[in-house]
């Protein structure tokens, strides 16, 4: 019975390390998803020159971007309010759900407040800048995952082993 308890402690330590590492990986995946959404938005703007509300509704129909929670929330809000308000509300909801960090939230809110108010080249430039900044955030998150993720996994294993040895 003591062996089973020690094994459970070791497993819990490893699980905590894997969980912390997985959270870092999920940041990278969320930022990759946002990059795909904004790249698709730029393509749609370039080819159709439609208003922002219509572009986001089209994004909701495109495979690969329609499943993004930010797109779904924005499209749902477009039936009741203009794009900037629907987008800001969607960003706030995603931030409250823990999907967005403060830097990402600030970037997206600034984008939503200004986008759709200028001519086509200026809107395209805004979207390109947003994509570039999201790529920078993704690269930083990826670097954190590579360095800290391994540390978290090893700390979980070592912590579980240390606690098990302490209880022996």
Note the pLDDT of residue 120. 78
Report how many domains make up the chain. 1
1: helix, strand or coil: coil
Pull the structure tokens for residue 153.
């996994």
Mean pLDDT score of the chain, rounded to an integer? 85
Give the predicted TM-score (pTM) of the model.
Answer: 0.81
Residue 122's pLDDT band (boundaries 50, 70, 90)?
Answer: confident
Structure confidence by residue, pLDDT tens digits, 50-100: 888 888 888 888 777 667 888 888 888 888 888 888 888 999 998 888 888
Note the pLDDT of residue 136. 94
CA 44 – CA 155 distance, rounded (Å): 46
Structural domain boundaries enclosing 69: 2-167
Longest dimension (CA), the chain: 71
**CB count, 10 Å around CB of 76?**
14
């Amino acid at each position: 019975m003591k062996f089973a308890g020690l094994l459970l402690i070791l497993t819990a330590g490893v699980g905590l390390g894997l969980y912390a590492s997985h959270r870092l990986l999920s940041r990278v995946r969320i930022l990759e998803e946002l990059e795909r959404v904004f790249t698709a938005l730029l393509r749609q703007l370039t080819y159709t020159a439609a208003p922002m509300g219509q572009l986001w509704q089209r994004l909701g129909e495109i495979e690969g971007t329609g499943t993004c929670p930010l797109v779904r929330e924005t499209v749902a809000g477009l039936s009741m309010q203009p794009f900037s308000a629907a987008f800001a509300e969607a960003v706030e909801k995603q931030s409250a759900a823990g999907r967005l960090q403060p830097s990402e939230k600030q970037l997206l809110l600034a984008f939503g407040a200004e986008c759709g108010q200028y001519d086509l080249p200026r809107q395209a430039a805004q979207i390109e800048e947003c994509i570039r900044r999201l790529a920078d955030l993704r690269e930083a998150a990826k670097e954190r995952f590579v360095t800290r993720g391994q540390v978290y996994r090893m700390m979980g294993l070592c912590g579980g082993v240390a606690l098990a040895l302490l209880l022996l």
